[in-house]
């Protein structure tokens, strides 16, 4: 399998110009403030699971517009609390799955908040449980072009707001140390983690893997497969909307969020990734504001990236930063 993008040395220097709207910060401050003002309180209910050596709860919390979003909260049965937490966001098309499916962080001694993605959860895995009760104008199949005619209506405005509200909900839980919360996720989840790390405030660490939703134009131009192709397909039909589409996407680009992340950050990237071109992830990493930062490079992997081996790297890297 060949390299799918630039060489490693070229990637280290890759800093594309990504449009940054003059009202970027004001847009997101207003969006998050409106969601918080919509009210609602997080609710925990014990999950129906055969797992007996962890406590697993079904969390319902208010997201964008106060709309209910779900997550699994897994934690050690007898940990001395409050405990540090890891909020994890899911990849494209997946949902939170079944309780007990994803518990590695809980087994490592953390509170694990595994957040569902609204309107997804039927592409792979074991499903999702959060609807997206919003319509859309013309769009390609998938979610990449839903509401793309304006940043106000774009799908990821709701998803990124949900991600921030998930951290708000985690901070309200009595067994969570509100000052020690990290965010992580792979692919789409990595892009969501970047947004949450920039917007939530006070996040301890940011750990995006093979991060999608960065350098949108570059991705649409060079990706060999996956959801970046949805953008290219849409623009091949709506030929007169190129400038407007990328103007909307500039409010959601991981590059612009990375510029605002000062928390310690550990990225990962795969150089044979056919879904997320490594140059798009490096575009965000190379614009990162954090002084404490690192990127793990997997030269011979596709979109699976570092897999379980990288999780071990994350766990070793995160522990001293929580201390």
Catalytic residues: 187, 273, 303
Distance CA 204, CA 192 (A): 16
DSSP code of residue 50: S
DSSP letter for each residue of 288-313:
---SSEEEEEETT--TTTTHHHHHHH
Q: Are 162 and 64 in contact (CB under 8 A)?
A: yes
CA-to-CA separations, 96 to 15, 130, 168, 200, 301, in angstroms, rounded: 34, 9, 18, 21, 25
Distance CA 192, CA 203 (A): 14
For the CA atoms of 123, 126, 132, 136, the dihedral, rounded to the nearest 10 degrees, stands at: 10
What values do phi and psi take at 50, rounded to 5? -75, -5
Cis peptide upstream of residue 82 (ω within 30 degrees of 0): yes
Matching residue, tokens 């596709």: 302
Instruction: Enter the tokens of residue 116.
Output: 């569902």
Picking from 174, 186, 203, 178, the residue whose alpha carbon sits closest to that of residue 264 is 203
Instruction: Look at strands 176-186 and 68-76 and give their pairing.
Output: unpaired
């Amino acid at each position: 399998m060949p390299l799918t993008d630039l060489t490693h040395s070229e990637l280290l220097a890759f800093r594309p110009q990504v449009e940054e709207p003059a009202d970027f910060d004001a847009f997101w401050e207003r969006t998050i403030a409106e969601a918080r003002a919509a009210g609602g309180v997080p609710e925990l209910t014990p999950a129906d699971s055969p797992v007996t050596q962890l406590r697993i709860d079904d969390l319902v919390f208010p997201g964008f517009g106060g709309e209910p979003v779900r997550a699994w909260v897994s934690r050690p049965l007898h940990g001395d609390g409050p405990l540090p937490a890891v909020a994890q966001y899911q990849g494209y098309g997946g949902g939170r799955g079944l309780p007990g499916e994803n518990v590695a962080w809980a087994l490592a001694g953390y509170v694990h908040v595994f957040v569902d993605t609204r309107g997804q959860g039927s592409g792979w895995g074991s499903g999702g449980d959060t609807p997206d009760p919003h319509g859309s104008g013309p769009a390609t199949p998938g979610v990449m072009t839903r509401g793309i005619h304006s940043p106000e209506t774009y799908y990821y405005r709701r998803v990124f707001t949900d991600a921030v509200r998930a951290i708000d909900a985690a901070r309200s839980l009595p067994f969570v140390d509100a000052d020690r919360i990290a965010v992580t996720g792979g692919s789409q989840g990595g892009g969501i983690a970047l947004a949450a790390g920039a917007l939530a405030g006070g996040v301890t660490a940011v750990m995006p893997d093979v991060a999608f939703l960065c350098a949108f134009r570059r991705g649409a131009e060079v990706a060999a497969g996956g959801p970046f192709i949805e953008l290219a397909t849409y623009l091949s039909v709506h030929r007169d909307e190129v400038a407007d589409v990328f103007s909307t996407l500039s409010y959601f680009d991981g590059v612009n969020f990375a510029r605002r992340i000062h928390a310690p950050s550990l990225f990962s990237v795969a150089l044979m990734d056919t879904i997320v071109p490594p140059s798009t992830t490096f575009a965000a990493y190379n614009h990162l504001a954090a002084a404490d930062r690192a990127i793990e490079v997997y030269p011979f992997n596709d979109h699976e990236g570092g897999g379980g081996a990288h999780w071990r790297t994350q766990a070793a890297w995160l522990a001293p930063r929580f201390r």
